[in-house]
Amino acid sequence: MILVIYQLIAISLIILISKNEYQKYEVMLYPLYYQTYIKALFLQIFLILNAMFVLFLALDHDQDFMKPLISFFGRQKVFVHKYLFFFMHIIIFFSFIIMIYILIPKLMIGVDIQIEVFMFIDLLMDMFLILNLILIFIKDKYKTLAILIVLIYMLMTLFMPYDKLWLYYIFPIFRIDKDINMIEIYYKLCYISLGFSIYFLKFLKEAL
């Protein structure tokens, strides 16, 4: 249900943005300008949509109905299925985001948008960073803190200064004003793996 709602929201927002008073001859004369403009505009929307999607997806992860499942199936099995559930929903949603990022500008404006693989990998890894933080720190009675995590993420992503590298080392999130490289991807993968491991150990040891 969450996935369907967010798909509809994403489509509606992008169609509304794309239906601007663009003249075809202007798009043909200045394709690079419109590609850059649409990319920057869509990135800001995607950052918000992605973060909010993860928030609503994982907000209720700590529920009482998990306790009998843990008692019956065991902690490890429940953990694997729980994380796979989040993983599959994020991948499906993100695949849909990529599809509309390419198709909507082409159909509505006539602008060809090229896929930047590293940029989308960076955005996808951010979703798993947020997911791990919510899973580690948010319990059922502290749900409002999840909103704070997402809000801090969005503010840092949109407004974090490029030269503040120490902030990036502490919280390696996507930055609009900087292209990611392979070293940073490996660093973020290590960061995500660390968060995954911490949550796994926490899940195994926390009381029912």
Per-residue pLDDT of the chain (208 residues; tens, 9 = 90+): 555 565 566 666 665 555 555 555 566 666 677 777 777 778 888 888 889 889 888 887 777 777 777 778 888 888 888 899 999 999 988 888 888 777 777 776 667 777 778 888 989 999 999 999 999 888 767 778 888 888 888 888 877 766 667 777 888 888 776 777 888 889 999 999 999 999 999 888 876 6
| CA proximity to 124, closest of 168, 170, 167, 89 | 89
pLDDT of residue 14: 61
pLDDT of residue 27: 63
Task: Kindly report the number of other CB atoms within 10 A of residue 172's CB atom.
Answer: 21
Q: Which amino acid is at 132?
A: N
Residue span of the structural domain in which 88 resides = 2-205
198 contact partners, CB below 8 Å, separation of at least 6: 132, 136
pLDDT of residue 181: 80
* Three-point CA angle 138, 189, 195, nearest 5°: 25
Number of domains in the chain: 1
Helix (H, G, I), strand (E, B) or coil at 177: coil
Contact 102, 113 (CB under 8 A): yes
Q: Copy the structure tokens of residue 9.
A: 């929201």
Q: What is the DSSP string of 99-152?
A: HHHHHHHHHHT--PPPP-HHHHHHHHHHHHHHHHHHHHH--GGGTHHHHHHHHH
